[in-house]
């Protein structure tokens, strides 16, 4: 026959063991101490996942001096001048995102299709060759701050917004195109099938070849740009 005192000690050991297991498992455990009238609940702290809502991809754009930071919560890529210069790198943004995936943690992983908005937050300068710079961002809906973009040295905008299938409106009326080559804007909007309006006021109508190739201009209101139909 088991002694009553031994039974009590065995129950205490089982209770403590269960409490320890419960705490390790991340659950709340109620302990019953030997003092009468005391009941204590211990809430185990769960480890929070370590990830950042802001992901910096600046260093993955070649010759880039700007800051490129993606906000996970708003799905917005913010672009602004760096500490020493405001020149944006020539690496297309979609490519910079893919290159970043090789180096950032899996918890911070994101794809080009996660970018729904681009916000240009300060004065920036486009590189001479800006081909595909904002292209292949299939879920991109809008770009704010385009009036802050210095394009004076840009000679090539080929496929600049290529296959931005969700992009709806572009106001490029403030852009300086004096350095742009004759074929430098070829297929600039090709595949951007959701575009409803493009403002090209102040652009030289006779200077660009194939700028609207790949775009159904019958579905887009083009402001400030006259061209002859064949």
**pLDDT given for residue 10 in this prediction:** 46
Q: What is the pLDDT of residue 106?
A: 67
Shared domain for 36 and 133, answered yes or no, is no
* Residue 28's pLDDT band (cuts 50, 70, 90): low
Q: What percent of the chain has pLDDT over 90?
A: 62
Judge whether residue 120 has pLDDT over 80.
Answer: yes
Question: Which of 195, 82, 186 is closest to 143 using CA atoms?
Answer: 195
- Higher per-residue pLDDT: 41 or 200: 200
What's the pLDDT band for 182 if we cut at 50, 70, 90?
confident
Identify whether residues 148 and 208 lie together within a single domain. Answer: yes
Work out the pLDDT band at 40, boundaries 50, 70, 90: low
Burial class of residue 110, CB neighbours in 10 A (0-12, 13-18, 19+): middle
| Rounded Cα–Cα distance for residues 228 and 155 (Å) | 24
| More reliable by pLDDT, 150 or 102 | 150
Does residue 170 surpass a pLDDT of 90? Answer: yes
More confident residue, 49 or 176: 176
pLDDT in tens, 186-223: 999 999 999 999 999 998 766 677 999 999 999 999 99
Examine the domain organization and report whether 8 and 119 are in the same domain: no
Are 89 and 117 part of one and the same domain? yes
Output the pLDDT for position 15: 46
Residues 33 and 79 occupy one common structural domain? no
Determine if the pTM surpasses 0.85.
no
Residue 26 and residue 123 share a domain = no
Same domain, 54 and 153: yes
pLDDT of residue 23: 45
d(CA 207, CA 81): 30
Tokens of 188: 């600039």
Q: Is the same domain home to 137 and 62?
A: yes
Structural domain that includes position 204: 49-230
Quote the mean pLDDT of the chain: 83
* SS3 state of residue 21: helix
Spatial distance between the Cα atoms of 178 and 46, rounded to a whole number of angstroms: 59
Burial class (CB in 10 A: 0-12, 13-18, 19+), 130: buried
Answer whether residue 44 shows pLDDT above 90: no
Q: What is the average per-residue pLDDT within 115-143? A: 97
What is the torsion angle, in degrees rounded to the nearest 10, for the CA atoms of residue 153, residue 95, residue 118 and residue 158?
Answer: 40
Q: Among 63-67, 155-159, 160-164, 226-230, where is mean pLDDT lowest?
A: 226-230
138 and 224, same domain (yes or no): yes
Tally of domains within the chain: 2
99 DSSP assignment: H
Asked whether residue 226 falls in the same domain as residue 117, the answer is yes
pLDDT tens across 83-116, in order? 989 999 999 999 999 998 877 766 667 899 999 9
């Amino acid at each position: 026959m088991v002694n009553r005192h031994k039974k009590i000690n065995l129950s205490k050991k089982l209770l403590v063991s269960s409490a320890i297991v419960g705490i390790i498992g991340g659950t709340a455990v109620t302990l019953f101490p030997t003092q009468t009238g005391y009941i204590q609940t211990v809430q185990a702290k769960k480890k929070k996942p370590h990830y950042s809502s802001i992901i910096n991809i600046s260093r993955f754009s070649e010759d880039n001096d700007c800051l490129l930071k993606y906000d996970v919560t708003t799905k917005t890529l913010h672009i602004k001048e760096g500490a020493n210069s405001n020149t944006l790198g020539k690496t297309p943004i979609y490519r910079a995102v893919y290159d970043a995936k090789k180096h950032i943690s899996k918890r911070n992983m994101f794809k080009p299709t996660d970018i729904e908005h681009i916000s240009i937050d300060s004065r920036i300068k486009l590189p001479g060759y800006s081909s595909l710079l904002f292209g292949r961002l299939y879920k991109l809906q809008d770009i704010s701050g385009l009036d802050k973009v210095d394009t004076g040295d840009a000679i090539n905008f080929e496929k600049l917004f290529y296959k931005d299938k969700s992009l709806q409106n572009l106001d490029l009326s403030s852009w300086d195109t004096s350095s742009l080559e004759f074929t430098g804007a070829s297929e600039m909007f090709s595949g951007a099938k959701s575009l409803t309006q493009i403002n090209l006021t102040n652009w030289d109508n006779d200077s660009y070849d194939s700028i609207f190739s790949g775009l159904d201009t019958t579905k887009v209101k083009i402001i400030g740009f006259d061209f002859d139909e064949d």
